[in-house]
Amino acid sequence: MSEAKRYGLQAQPDSGNSFLPDFCNARTVFLLVLSAELFAFLLVLANGPPFYWDQLGTLSLMVQLITLCSALLLCKLRPWLAGFTPLRAGLLSYVMVLLVTLLFSVLISMLDYWMRSGIVLSVPSLAVIGRDMTISAIVSAALLRLLYLQHQQRQHIETNAEARVQALLARMHPHFLFNSLNSIAALLRKQPDKAESALEDLSDLLRVSLNDNRSMRSLQQEIQLAKHYLDIEALRLGDRLKVDWSWSDQIDMNMALPALSLQPLLENAVYHGIEGLEHGGLIKVRGEWQDANLKLTVENPLPVQASASRHRGNQMAIANIRERLQLVYGKDASLNMRLDQGVCHIELLIPQADRPT
Amino acid sequence: MMKILIVDDEPLARERLRDLLGQIDDVEICGEASNGREALQACETKEPDVVLMDIRMPVMDGLEAARHLARCEQPPAVIFVTAYDQHALSAFEAHAAGYLVKPIRQSRLQEALHHLPRLNRAQLVSVQEQASSHAARSHLCVRQGGRLQLVPVDEVLYFLAEQKYVTACLRDGEVLLEDSLKALEQEFEDSFVRIHRNALIALSQLAGIDKHKSGQVVVLLKDSDRQLEVSRRHVPDLRKLLRQG
């Protein structure tokens, strides 16, 4: 399964700005023919009783000719119409359908007259043409309006879905970014070496964060990135930040996981935990293998007076990572947080079986 | 000479401020502090003219420290420094208060020192409310015998209104406060509960309730033998709290 599909994002067929469907599409044409036939049936039905089959025949012929010719025109002129604003394109299509109607209305009434009286060239009745044009004007206006609304709704749904995905993408916390830049500014003069390596770490983080992080990375890379992140935070926090890593030998360091699965957990531990503690604390990161799952645990102490609003922020960050994991793994991955005596425990389970490639 | 106190929990951030201030004439760094609490203590002894105050700090944040400072007779001017804090910044804008964003520019720092902002206490409370949606202090600031004393709110067992004063009772001793019981009730609604016209107790201290033979209901505290009277209309609320654990 491709990554895009896993995230529920399929490449949209290029529909341009136009709200008109693709009239060259077989399915669209079929639906159009079907609706046209139903419409003809409706007209004859409304005219009766009794029900005249021959009337249905003529009417069907006319309605289908108008429909198919309009569809053909709209299909061929689609690239040209795409150059206009939706309103103009809509109006042009409307005029086109009306012209097609006029053409066939004249032709068919002449044909009808010829079949009945044998006179080939006749002047068609204005009343008949007027009737045909009015019906066509009303029906095609309603149809265009419907297509337009449908298009709007679809666009609305698409924007919402895209916004949702964008909101979920892990992004660098501005608080972290500006604090890091401040540290680097402080180091530049006296410790240029440290400033340089901090800039390199920050660049790596920025690169992954700015990339479309719907990509997969190896566990090895994720750990490396998390370490870069902690190196930067260590500049600011000094001795207050202590980290203890432990990895089980069973873990396949090449297993793939969504980009930025680990670093945000550590950022969370620093932002909501260590930063608020006067003497800092120890973050414990553990990786184990449990029933074909990678189990990552992150533990960090919390400030005593962790306010309600701070706690909410903490849960939001976790919920964001959880949703991103669900987009990739469905119910197979889990992320749980519990607070226990001033310590925040986070447990992340990622399945390795059926791993995305 | 302008005396300046630098307050930031990050050593590197303090170093940068030192570097920048070193290039400005007529300023003197009179001290440094790494959180709001230390800043208040430093202000007592060093009497700075200006405090460069970081906002996010452990123990006591910069906004709260500024609020306590505003109670002084001659409060120093406070210039807030922050890396990124959207809510606080819009609050400062609203009060035309001076603030600096990290990384700080030399020219901005100089400019801020020339136009010193002075926010009064009410403005600071409003900034704090906008910045963090609640403005409960973490410490009570009291003056005893001319000395500044900071009492962490989570060490208070209960507040008791007696005659003119409100007393905050701690495990070891008590302090007199200037605040009214009503104001305290509003400020600490998340952590304290009213049990009587004259008393608020810490939720974490609530151990149980008892009924005397006289019919008077009293509340039992975890860390004190004192039994505080509960007025009848607060009994149902307390029972509910006890059931919830």
pLDDT tens sequence across A158-214: 777 766 666 666 567 888 899 999 999 999 988 999 999 999 999 999 888 877 656
Task: Please indicate, yes or no, if residue A357 is contained in any of the structural domains.
Answer: no
Contact check, Cβ <8 Å, B102/A178: yes
Residues of A in contact with B63 (CB under 8 A): none
Domain boundary among B132, B160, B190: B132
Residues A74, A160 within the same domain: yes
Residues B74, B108 within the same domain: yes
User: For testing the chain A interface, which of B16, B35, B61, B86 should be mutated: the one with the most A CBs within 10 Å?
Assistant: B16
Task: Please indicate, yes or no, if residue A356 is contained in any of the structural domains.
Answer: no
What would the two tokens of residue A170 be?
Answer: 């892990």
Residues B122, B177 within the same domain: no
Residues A192, A97 within the same domain: no
Q: What are phi and psi of A216, to 5 degrees?
A: -105, 145
What's the DSSP call for residue B105?
P
Q: Which domain holds residue A19?
A: 3-168
Domain boundary among A130, A149, A168: A168
CATH number for B124: 3.40.50.2300
If you average pLDDT over every residue of chain B, what do you get? 87
pLDDT tens sequence across B125-140: 777 777 665 668 888 9
Contact check, Cβ <8 Å, B83/A275: no
What ipTM was predicted for this assembly?
Answer: 0.78
Residues B78, B168 within the same domain: no
pLDDT tens sequence across B25-41: 999 999 999 999 999 99
Residues 11-40 of A with CB under 8 A from B: none
Q: Which residues lie closer than 8 Å to A217 by C-beta, 6 or more apart?
A: A208, A225, A256, A257, A258, A259
Residue A311: burial class (beta carbons within 10 Å; 0-12, 13-18, 19+): middle
pLDDT tens sequence across A5-31: 333 333 333 444 567 777 788 888 888
Residues B128, B168 within the same domain: no
Q: What per-residue confidence (pLDDT) applies to A15?
A: 44
**Number of separate domains in chain B:** 2
Under the banding of pLDDT at 50, 70 and 90, the label for residue B166 is: very high
Q: What percentage of chain B reaches a pLDDT higher than 70?
A: 94
pLDDT tens sequence across B180-197: 899 899 889 888 999 999
Q: Which domain holds residue B206?
A: 139-244
Span A142-161, average pLDDT: 83
Under the banding of pLDDT at 50, 70 and 90, the label for residue A227 is: very high
**Number of separate domains in chain A:** 2
CATH number for B169: 2.40.50.1020
Q: What per-residue confidence (pLDDT) applies to A345?
A: 93
Of B150, B243, B134, B117, nearest to B187 by C-alpha is B134
Span A91-114, average pLDDT: 84
Domain boundary among B112, B132, B152: B132
CATH number for A225: 3.30.565.10
Domain boundary among A168, A199, A217: A168
If you average pLDDT over every residue of chain A, what do you get? 82
